[in-house]
Chain A
Amino acid sequence: MKLLGIAGSLRAGSYNRQLLQLAADNLPGGVEYAAWDGLRDLPAFDEDEENTSSFAVGAFRSAVADADAVLIVTPEYNGSIPGALKNALDWGSRPRDTAVFRGKPVAAIGASTGSFGGVWAHAETRKILGLMGARVVDAELSLGKAGERLAQPDDELLGQVRAVVDLLVTEASARAAAA
């Protein structure tokens, strides 16, 4: 089972990238992990170019298509999801008939330094993925006080992260079995 990780932040020291890495470092057996880190390389979505041969867009779509499940770990900007991540999802939602996210098991989680952990962004991301036809797993993790929690991840946090990945594995396995 191949899991693709996407961090919604471009920042080098991103807490969300740290949370994604925490998930990657604690995968169950049989899960192969790859990160896609090309957010900054994507052009702005343009429906006129949705059949584009742009390398960056093609690489993104291939990365998603090759994965059995996708874990998105994103911050919240101004009460919603980062523009760069939304832009990537828009590219991934088109062309509609061959969209790579359709039916793909996906989880959207994240972290913030505040108390609420970016919960609005994660709800928004799940809404967007649902409209795109993805199989959004029933997992919620919006980690508040990210600096402290990620400095020394405790068992509770590790359990929460593992539970999210376990749900993705379960959905990906069900999809593979049905194929």
Chain B
Amino acid sequence: MSTISETRTALPTGTWQVDPVHSTVGFSVKHMVVANFRGGFGTFSVTLDETGLRGTVDVASIGVSEPNLNGHLLSPDFFDAERNPQLSFNSTAIRVEGDKLDIDGELTIKGTTRPVKIAGTVTGPVAGLGDTTRLGLELETVVDRTAFGLDWNAPLPTGGFAVGNDVKLVAELELVEEA
């Protein structure tokens, strides 16, 4: 008897909300040409339902290892959090093949909305503790920060710039199905 393995082609139905304690939204960018500098956001919301995947991030919740840098990142040189308090994402198409995700969507940063393609994986759903059902999404994309008006930089003495333009955005999300 042959075994037929079904390949998943869609995300589970239902409405799913992020469990922020067990999820992260972060970024990394090249610093001084050679190293990856990482940071993240502590406050965000994500919903997956029949209309797609969407989320918002509170810019003011940005966290990097140097507190003095937080202030500069929130300033008009970077995110301009006073005028643009949130980042947002809305999917326009989600393709699923097994555990692989291929998502098209629109990302809004600093008031500028641009199309992005996100690659990712899906895990679950599984029955979690406390009578909950959980779904894991790992999502990644790379954006040119200057396309969103985050164009601050500083030239290095022998050429090159202090901060790279390409920023990797990574979301590791644990979603909980709404009862």
B75 at the A interface (CB under 8 A): yes
Choice from A131, A136, A174 contacting B72 with Cβ under 8 Å: A131
User: Considering the chains assembled together, what is the distance between the CA atoms of A60 and B67 in angstroms?
Assistant: 25
> Do A130 and B75 touch across chains, with their CB atoms under 8 A apart?
yes
Known: A175-B82, A178-B82. A96 touches B68 (CB 8 A): yes
User: How many chain-A residues does the 8 Å CB contact rule pick out?
Assistant: 15
Q: Which residues of A contact B76 (CB under 8 A)?
A: 103, 130, 133-136
B74 at the A interface (CB under 8 A): yes
User: Considering the chains assembled together, what is the distance between the CA atoms of A99 and B74 in angstroms?
Assistant: 13
Residue of B nearest to A96 (CB): B71
> Do A131 and B77 touch across chains, with their CB atoms under 8 A apart?
yes
Residue of A nearest to B77 (CB): A130
A102 at the B interface (CB under 8 A): yes
Known: A130-B152, A178-B82, A178-B83. A102 touches B71 (CB 8 A): yes
Residue of B nearest to A105 (CB): B76
User: Considering the chains assembled together, what is the distance between the CA atoms of A168 and B77 in angstroms?
Assistant: 17
User: Considering the chains assembled together, what is the distance between the CA atoms of A133 and B71 in angstroms?
Assistant: 7
Query: Does more than half of chain B's interface fall in helix, strand or loop, or is it mixed?
Result: loop
Question: In B33-87, which residues have CB < 8 Å from any A CB?
Answer: 67-68, 71-72, 74-77, 80, 82-83
> Do A133 and B75 touch across chains, with their CB atoms under 8 A apart?
yes
Q: Which residues of A contact B82 (CB under 8 A)?
A: 103, 135, 175, 178
User: Considering the chains assembled together, what is the distance between the CA atoms of A178 and B76 in angstroms?
Assistant: 15
Q: Which residues of B contact A131 (CB under 8 A)?
A: 72, 77
> Do B67 and A103 touch across chains, with their CB atoms under 8 A apart?
no
The 9 closest A-B pairs by CB, nearest first: A133-B75, A130-B77, A135-B76, A103-B82, A133-B71, A96-B71, A96-B68, A131-B72, A178-B83
Question: In A73-113, which residues have CB < 8 Å from any B CB?
Answer: 96-97, 99, 102-103
Residue of A nearest to B82 (CB): A103
User: Considering the chains assembled together, what is the distance between the CA atoms of A130 and B68 in angstroms?
Assistant: 13
24 A–B pairs (Cβ distance < 8 Å), ordered by A: A96-B71, A97-B71, A99-B71, A102-B75, A103-B76, A103-B82, A130-B75, A130-B76, A130-B152, A131-B72, A131-B77, A132-B75, A133-B71, A133-B72, A133-B75, A133-B77, A134-B75, A134-B76, A135-B76, A135-B80, A135-B82, A136-B76, A175-B82, A178-B83
Smallest distance from the beta carbon of A46 to chain B beta carbons, Å?
Answer: 17
Q: Which residues of B contact A133 (CB under 8 A)?
A: 71-72, 74-77
Chain B 155-171 interface mask (CB, 8 Å, partner A; 1/0): 00000000000000000
Known: A103-B82, A175-B82. A96 touches B75 (CB 8 A): no
User: Considering the chains assembled together, what is the distance between the CA atoms of A97 and B80 in angstroms?
Assistant: 15
Q: Which residues of A contact B74 (CB under 8 A)?
A: 133
Q: Which residues of A contact B75 (CB under 8 A)?
A: 102-103, 130, 132-135
User: Considering the chains assembled together, what is the distance between the CA atoms of A178 and B72 in angstroms?
Assistant: 20
User: Considering the chains assembled together, what is the distance between the CA atoms of A102 and B77 in angstroms?
Assistant: 11
Question: In B121-179, which residues have CB < 8 Å from any A CB?
Answer: 152
Q: Which residues of B contact A134 (CB under 8 A)?
A: 75-76
Chain B CB within 10 A, most for which of A96, A97, A133, A135: A133
Chain A CB within 10 A, most for which of B71, B74, B75, B80: B75
User: Considering the chains assembled together, what is the distance between the CA atoms of A178 and B71 in angstroms?
Assistant: 19
User: Considering the chains assembled together, what is the distance between the CA atoms of A134 and B67 in angstroms?
Assistant: 17
